[in-house]
């Protein structure tokens, strides 16, 4: 690291100041400290003064007795003797047993106080001023070359433990080993096992990766260094690398400790050897690799890193000896969601009607961060309506708020638009309900949201599903097309309201063919690979142009089939469609029960 000298400011000025401080100190503070005169006496004098009842206060220390005379003219000290009746005699002499008699300062001490302390103060002051000047002179980039600004959390301030992270049991299991190792490294070294140097926490945003890393530090009771990958990437080449060096230097001094690098993909992206590639990032990455190779295993520095795009990481980072263990941190399942809700609900006052199981079921697909947000949003809603407890309704409404945005209070939706939206949403729901395998709806609202959605359908799945059958996917596609189908049948006209439906239906249809092997033509051949599993799931095609054409044709065919099916279902149930749509149109919201009730009623 490049050390920079402070500029030559009038140093004489500082020396002058130091002299002044020393002078003042000697004049004012020292006399105060020395006020009580200290007299060292032998034990005989002490006994004599006791007999003469000339003891004011007395204090017994382990090595000496400190006391004053009746008039408090001076402080005396004497050694300790084995003197059994002393306490009683002192009591009889009317002495006050004290604890606060100022310990007489030794001459050495007084030199320290009057000379060395002010000097130290001065030096610290000088350095502080010097640093300030350096900063001002050139800004951090010119002078403070590559000083790392890793935040150090000491466990007591953070205090996050595994209990605070709900669900994610598999991830915790993996990390518990690290905690155990930090507690008792000998157990591992005895067998000859060495801990992985780096662990990669992989998963979608908001699933608690940062929290888990902090919890490891919290459980192991070791310091926690945290830095985001993007903080390493600086404007000037070489600075990121020197930050890495600095971070590791600090960490090694504090070992055992946890170093956490968030968003490691910011520096760890594949080096693609492009002309004019990002030199700075590559240097930073190289430095990180060097540092990781540089320290031996078992030195107590454990590096945790988080990313949501593991596939973009440079293979050099993930090979053995570096980040060789991968800990998946997935979106929580039903039980996980319920547990996360409960953890966050500890902070709020709940009414008795709250049922977390239902909330967790309604909030399928949400991350831990979103669930935390839902709980907080519910609490805010309770406050807004002047209640002191959070109710089930608060929580239910918050799910919609977090997923679809706030209700637009003064949204402009004309009457005819409202009618179209009612039919559109009921179209989805009715198609879903008529296909035995599709999930029933929980609730539909046609209140415009700040996210731009005009209506919102909450689908409820019974528990989490891992596998989907071909039939179920097809039904899902049909459900997506149900909104548009209703518009066609009722109004003979189509709107732009189906753009999202179209996107999702297409995605599903394409995945069936290219990834799930659910078409006769292509059998079990992968035509696509997922490149971005955790952020939207982008895919790249891996087939010839001819095949692409064929795939596109098949996708269109598949969606068309399902669209036709949806239309047919709605035509067959036209009466129910009208009935349900007008109910929604009037009430603006319909629950799953109301829906099923109307659906089950005899038509008439």
Chain residues in the site for ligand ADP (CB under 6 A) = 165-168, 205-211, 306, 340, 343, 368-369, 372
**Does residue 238 come out as left (phi exceeding 0), alpha (psi in the -120 to 50 range) or beta?**
left
Q: Which residue is nearest to ligand ADP (CB)?
A: 368
Do you find a cis peptide bond into 256, omega within 30 degrees of 0? yes
Binding partner of residue 207 among Zn ion, ligand ADP, none, CB cut-off 5 to 8 Å per kind: ligand ADP
Phi first, then psi: give them for residue 445, nearest 5 degrees.
Answer: -130, 150
261, 227 in Cβ contact below 8 A?
Answer: yes
Judged by beta carbon, residue 224 or residue 456, the one nearer Zn ion is 456
Contact between 483 and Zn ion per CB under 5 A: yes
Q: Which region, judged by CB under 5 A, interacts with Zn ion, from 169-177, 313-321, 360-368, 479-487?
A: 479-487
CB neighbours of 76 closer than 8 A, spacing ≥ 6?
38, 39, 40, 41, 45, 46, 49, 66, 67, 68, 69
589, 447 in Cβ contact below 8 A?
Answer: yes
512, 473 in Cβ contact below 8 A?
Answer: yes
CA-to-CA distance for 302 and 178, rounded, in angstroms?
8
115, 23 in Cβ contact below 8 A?
Answer: no
Contact between 501 and Zn ion per CB under 5 A: yes
Q: How far is the CB of 330 from ligand ADP (least distance, A)?
A: 10
Binding partner of residue 483 among ligand ADP, Zn ion, none, CB cut-off 5 to 8 Å per kind: Zn ion
Q: Which residue is nearest to Zn ion (CB)?
A: 483
Phi first, then psi: give them for residue 221, nearest 5 degrees.
Answer: 60, 45
Judged by beta carbon, residue 331 or residue 426, the one nearer ligand ADP is 331
Judged by beta carbon, residue 167 or residue 240, the one nearer ligand ADP is 167
Judged by beta carbon, residue 182 or residue 331, the one nearer ligand ADP is 331
Judged by beta carbon, residue 350 or residue 485, the one nearer ligand ADP is 350
For residue 245, give the nearest of 175, 150, 330, 347 by alpha carbon.
150
Q: How far is the CB of 312 from ligand ADP (least distance, A)?
A: 17
Binding partner of residue 208 among Zn ion, ligand ADP, none, CB cut-off 5 to 8 Å per kind: ligand ADP
Q: How far is the CB of 498 from Zn ion (least distance, A)?
A: 5
Q: How far is the CB of 428 from Zn ion (least distance, A)?
A: 6
Alpha helix locations (H) across 143-278? 155-158, 169-183, 185-191, 209-220, 229-232, 239-254, 265-268
Crossing angle (nearest 10°) for helices 592-600 and 574-587:
140
Q: How far is the CB of 338 from ligand ADP (least distance, A)?
A: 11
Binding partner of residue 206 among Zn ion, ligand ADP, none, CB cut-off 5 to 8 Å per kind: ligand ADP
SS (H, E, C) 436-481: CCCCCEEEEECCCECCCCCCEEEECCCCCCCCCCHHHHHHHHHHHH
Binding partner of residue 501 among Zn ion, ligand ADP, none, CB cut-off 5 to 8 Å per kind: Zn ion
Q: How far is the CB of 500 from Zn ion (least distance, A)?
A: 7
The residue annotated as part of the active site, out of 291, 396, 425, 474, is 425
Binding partner of residue 306 among Zn ion, ligand ADP, none, CB cut-off 5 to 8 Å per kind: ligand ADP
Binding partner of residue 590 among ligand ADP, Zn ion, none, CB cut-off 5 to 8 Å per kind: none
Q: Does the annotation mark 425 as catalytic?
A: yes
Q: How far is the CB of 420 from Zn ion (least distance, A)?
A: 11
Judged by beta carbon, residue 343 or residue 429, the one nearer ligand ADP is 343
- Tokens 């008795």 identify what position? 352
150, 250 in Cβ contact below 8 A?
Answer: yes
**How far from chain centre, in Å, is Cα 388?**
28
For residue 452, give the nearest of 502, 407, 417 by alpha carbon.
407
CA-to-CA distance for 303 and 321, rounded, in angstroms?
12
Judged by beta carbon, residue 231 or residue 501, the one nearer Zn ion is 501
Q: Which region, judged by CB under 5 A, interacts with Zn ion, from 73-81, 392-400, 480-488, 528-536?
A: 480-488
Which residues contribute to the site for Zn ion (CB under 5 A)?
483, 501
**Residues involved in catalysis:** 425
């Amino acid at each position: 690291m490049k050390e920079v000298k402070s500029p030559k400011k009038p140093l004489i000025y500082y020396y002058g100041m130091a002299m002044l401080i020393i002078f003042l100190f000697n004049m004012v503070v020292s006399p105060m400290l020395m006020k009580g005169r200290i007299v060292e006496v032998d034990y005989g004098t002490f006994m004599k003064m006791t007999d003469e009842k000339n003891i004011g206060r007395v204090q017994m220390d382990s090595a000496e007795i400190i006391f004053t005379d009746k008039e408090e003219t001076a402080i005396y000290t004497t050694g300790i003797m084995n003197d059994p009746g002393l306490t009683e005699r002192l009591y009889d002499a009317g002495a006050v047993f004290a604890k606060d008699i100022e310990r007489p300062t030794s001459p050495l001490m007084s030199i320290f106080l009057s000379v060395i302390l002010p000097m130290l103060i001065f030096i610290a002051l000088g350095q502080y001023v010097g640093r300030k000047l350096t900063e001002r002179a050139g800004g951090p980039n010119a002078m403070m070359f590559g000083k790392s600004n890793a935040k150090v959390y000491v466990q007591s301030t953070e205090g996050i433990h595994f209990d605070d992270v709900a669900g994610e049991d598999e991830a915790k299991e993996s990390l518990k080993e690290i905690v155990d190792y930090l507690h008792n490294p000998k157990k591992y070294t005895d067998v000859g096992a060495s801990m992985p140097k780096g662990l990669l926490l992989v998963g979608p945003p908001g699933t608690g990766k940062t929290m888990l890393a902090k919890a490891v530090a919290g459980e192991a009771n070791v310091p926690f260094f945290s830095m985001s990958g993007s903080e390493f990437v600086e404007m000037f080449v070489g600075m990121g690398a020197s930050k890495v060096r600095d971070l590791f230097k600090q960490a090694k001094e504090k070992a055992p400790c946890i170093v956490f690098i968030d968003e490691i993909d910011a520096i760890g992206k594949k080096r693609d050897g492009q002309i004019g590639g990002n030199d700075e990032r590559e240097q930073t990455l190289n430095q990180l690799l060097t540092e990781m190779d540089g320290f031996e295993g078992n030195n107590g520095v454990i590096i945790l890193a988080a990313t949501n795009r593991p596939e973009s990481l440079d293979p050099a980072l993930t090979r053995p000896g570096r980040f060789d263990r991968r800990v998946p941190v997935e979106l929580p399942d039903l039980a996980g969601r319920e547990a996360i809700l409960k953890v966050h609900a500890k902070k709020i006052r709940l009414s008795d009607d709250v049922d977390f199981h239902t909330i967790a079921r309604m909030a399928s697909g949400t991350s831990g961060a979103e669930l935390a947000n839902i709980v907080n949003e519910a609490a805010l809603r309770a406050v807004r309506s002047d209640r002191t407890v959070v109710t089930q309704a608060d929580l239910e409404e918050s799910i919609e708020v977090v997923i679809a945005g706030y209700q637009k209070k003064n949204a402009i939706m004309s009457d005819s638009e409202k009618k179209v939206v009612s039919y559109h949403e009921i179209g989805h729901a009715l198609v879903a309900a008529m296909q035995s395998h599709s999930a029933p709806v929980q609730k539909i609202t046609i209140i415009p949201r700040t996210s731009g959605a005009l209506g919102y359908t909450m689908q409820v799945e019974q528990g989490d599903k891992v596998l989907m059958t071909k039939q179920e996917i097809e039904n899902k596609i049909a459900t997506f097309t149900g909104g548009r189908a209703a518009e066609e049948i009722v109004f003979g006209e189509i709107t732009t309201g189906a753009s999202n439906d179209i996107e999702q239906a297409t995605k599903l249809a394409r995945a069936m063919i290219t990834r799930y092997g659910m078409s006769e033509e292509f059998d079990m051949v992968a035509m696509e690979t997922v490149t971005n599993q955790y952020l939207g799931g982008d895919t790249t095609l891996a087939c010839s142009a001819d095949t692409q054409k064929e795939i596109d044709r098949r996708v269109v065919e598949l969606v068309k089939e399902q669209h036709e099916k949806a239309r047919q279902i709605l035509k067959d149930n036209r009466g129910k469609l009208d009935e349900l749509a007008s109910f929604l149109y009037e009430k603006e919201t319909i629950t799953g029960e109301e829906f099923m009730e109307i659906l089950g009623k005899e038509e008439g």
